[in-house]
Amino acid sequence: MNFFDDDVLGQLDLNELEIMRERARHFLSRVQFQVELKNSTARPLSRFTFQESGFVFYAEKVEDGVLINPALPPNFGNRDISTRPSEELERWSCRPYIETREVPSGTRYIVHCLDGGAWDRPTDWGSFASLNDAMVCISERC
């Protein structure tokens, strides 16, 4: 049986279609998590589930609800907001995150957020010399 056939779907009642849609969304979200993991660099990541939304993310760690070095969707840093999948927008819109970079003077903490400030990428909220300074930036903007 091909469940993508309109004739098959047309035979299902509304309740069956709703159940199927919810299961498909759950399945696709799990696929998306794996895509993000495969897209990330070869660093150890842990799984984090946010209680308020139920969204699952992979990152090196979480500080006060902020993802540090998260696994990001493919082309996350250079995709027009209008072409992003709705599931991606739902998970990432207005969710600031921090990426770390090693530089000769030490670690830089770069704060990004998909907040609509740039049409083609997450907005860069700033680069900081300490995690605390990066967290202050986030708390002042959110």
Name which residue leads in pLDDT, 19 or 40. 19
Q: How many CB atoms lie within 10 A of CB 67?
A: 22
pLDDT of residue 70: 95
Q: Which domain holds residue 104?
A: 4-138
For the entire predicted model, the pTM comes to: 0.75
The one-letter amino acid code at 85 reads: P
Task: At 121, list the tokens.
Answer: 């990428």
User: What distance in Å separates the CA atoms of residue 72 and residue 33, rounded to the nearest whole number?
Assistant: 9
Please give the share of the chain, as a percent, with pLDDT higher than 90. 53
CB 39 within 8 A of CB 73: yes
Q: Using 50, 70 and 90 to split pLDDT, how confident is the model at 25?
A: confident
Calculate the average pLDDT of the chain. Answer: 88
Query: Contact, 110 vs 97, CB < 8 A?
Result: no
Judge whether residue 132 has pLDDT over 90: yes
Bridge-based pairing of strands 97-103 and 66-70 is: parallel
In whole angstroms, give the CA distance from residue 55 to residue 13.
29
Split into its structural domains, the chain has a count of 1
pLDDT band at 36 (very low <50, low <70, confident <90, very high): confident
Summarize pLDDT for 57-98 with one digit per residue, the tens: 999 999 999 999 999 988 899 999 999 988 899 999 999 999
- Tens-place pLDDT, residues 3-21: 667 777 788 888 888 887 7
As a 3-state breakdown, the chain gives helix, strand, coil percent values, each rounded to 5, of 40, 30, 35
